[in-house]
Structure 1
Amino acid sequence: MDPLKSVLNVAASGMRAQGERLKVVSENVANASSTGNTEGGEPYRRKVISFEEMIDRETGASMVGVSDVTQDDADFELRFDPAHPAANQDGFVKVSNVKTILELANMREASRSYQANLNMFETGRTMRSQLLDLLK
């Protein structure tokens, strides 16, 4: 078992997982102001990503993978907008349960984690290259 190959696989799995996380966050941010189209219609519901440990059969290394993407069951907020087509009889419209500030924090965390995994991948690749140079 090549430990440097294991490093590359683990770092790559981290980058894939954080890439998926960024995709979910970007969907949430893009739809944060979505409302229902008609009275009683549901606005966009925030998505939440979950991760799980995965064992690489080839190297035995613990890696990360996406286990599930689910919808956040938090209540929708109500906004007063009687002219909106989705307004109820009291003039309130359901708006998405996405909290933009929370999503931006998640985006920053995912970006930093992706960068850390990328640095680990580049370090592993450099070490592997140096080892091959020594063996020449």
Structure 2
Amino acid sequence: MLRHVSIVNQINVISMGIDGVLQIGDSNMIASRNRDILVQREESFYLAQEGSFEKYVMFTDAEITIPTRQTSVRMHVVNTNPFVRVDFVEIISLLSSGIIHIGSTDYVFNNSRILQIRQFISEDPFEETPSERSLIP
């Protein structure tokens, strides 16, 4: 792998959550994996059994195919300037296996799975209640 010198003058990160990665410099391999279950309800209560990843098929890695590398590729690269220069980077939010990487990477594999569950009291959460209807002329 080609090596570079990474020069960064300034990085401003406002919010960085779970599984977010900020890396400056070269790397051989980055493997990032994230699993989330998000539950949104009109009434606040928590069910202990609903946080189990095994309960949902989407969190298994059986369906993920990782591409195989082709090693028979021949390349000849000449870097007249081996520097990676970055003046300023501003990141508002970096979440869910997000990666900011300044430099060279030989192999990257990211896998993020998020299940969002929304539970409403009424069948149609956008339906007007009788009191709201009486306010409309």
Same-fold call, TM cutoff 0.5: no
- Structure whose alpha-carbon radius of gyration is higher: 2
Higher normalized helix content (fraction of residues): 1
TM-score grouping bracket, smaller chain normalisation: under 0.3
Higher normalized strand content (fraction of residues): 2
